[in-house]
Amino acid sequence: MFSKLVQQGSITHICGVKFRFFNPPACFCITLFAVLHLPASAAMMTLNAVAETSLFARNPDFNLGRTTLASGASRVGDLSRALFRFDLSSLPADAIITGASVQLSVTRVPDPDKEPGPASSDFSLHRVLVDWGEGTGEGLTGTAAKPGEATWSSRFHDTTSWSAPGALLGTDFANNPSATTNVNAVGSYFWNSQELVNDVNSWVADPVSNFGLILVSNNEGTRGTARRFSAKEDVDGGIPPQLIITFIPEPSSAILLAVAIAGATIRRNRGIFSPAI
């Protein structure tokens, strides 16, 4: 294609050297093709959770979220689940999202010197399908919820219940997990998958559907799977729940600028000179 465009010019001699005068539309097409195929540079954005809480089966009208989050089954089998949500409004509206990862930091595991001790477990993140209120309880088992906060019993304490205590799979949160990873010792863990990318894209396209994620142990029937995770208010400096997004700005401002300059140059000069071969 390019060879045909190049051959459309006429031969001109300047100072004894042959130059081919290009047809302006052909030059513009070549320039446009080149700039549109410049490598796009990916950007990364890390977002801290803006709302979070934990739900406790043992104390169904309590919650936890001021210092740590909890999920899994305790040594005696009491269940907990964690909720968190991220604000995506700072993400460019036309961004092409290429990757998404959630980072959580485990700060505590069941006492290994007490039976049954800590048990390794896969933990899954599920997209939440209904709204809920952030809780600010603290302590080992949380504190009584204030009106409007989420608990094991309610999405909004005193007003709106979950479809089933603890939130119902398939109704309150999605059947299929967005991402799953195995959690064992204290440390940082990452959840990532194409499904999580799809979730982020859906929230960007429809912000009112962004109700965040729920963290559920895949082995809630196994005692000792419970873990404590850093919350955004962690006074000990732990890493809060984070959503790490990789994206490509679209359209690239560099490409638009290059196309504009190329077009302006061609309109001004009506052609370019190149040595004829």
For the chain, the C-alpha Rg in angstroms (whole number) is 28
- pLDDT above 70: residue 20: no
pLDDT of the residue at 249 = 86
pLDDT of the residue at 64 = 85
* pLDDT tens digits, one per residue of 123-159: 999 999 999 999 988 877 789 999 999 999 999 999 9
- pLDDT above 60: residue 27: no
- pLDDT above 70: residue 250: no
- Through-space distance between the first and last CA atoms of the chain, rounded to whole angstroms: 17
Rounding to the nearest 10 degrees, give the CA dihedral for residues 161, 197, 219, 173. 20
Give percent of the chain above pLDDT 70: 74
**How far, in Å, are 68, 114, 176, 226, 227 from residue 105 at the CA level?**
10, 23, 23, 13, 10
CA distance 202 to 209: 8
User: Which has the higher per-residue pLDDT, 255 or 65?
Assistant: 65
* pLDDT tens digits, one per residue of 88-118: 999 987 889 999 999 999 999 998 888 788 9
Task: Read off the pTM.
Answer: 0.78
Write the CB contacts of 43 (distance below 8 Å, at least 6 apart in sequence): 95, 246, 247, 248, 249
pLDDT of the residue at 114 = 85
Number of H helices and number of E strands within the chain? 4, 18
Residue 21: its H or E element: strand 17-21
* pLDDT tens digits, one per residue of 206-231: 999 999 999 999 999 999 999 999 99
- pLDDT above 90: residue 262: no
The mean of the pLDDT values for the chain is 83
Domain boundaries, the chain: 2-38+252-275, 49-248
Write the CB contacts of 15 (distance below 8 Å, at least 6 apart in sequence): none
pLDDT of the residue at 137 = 86
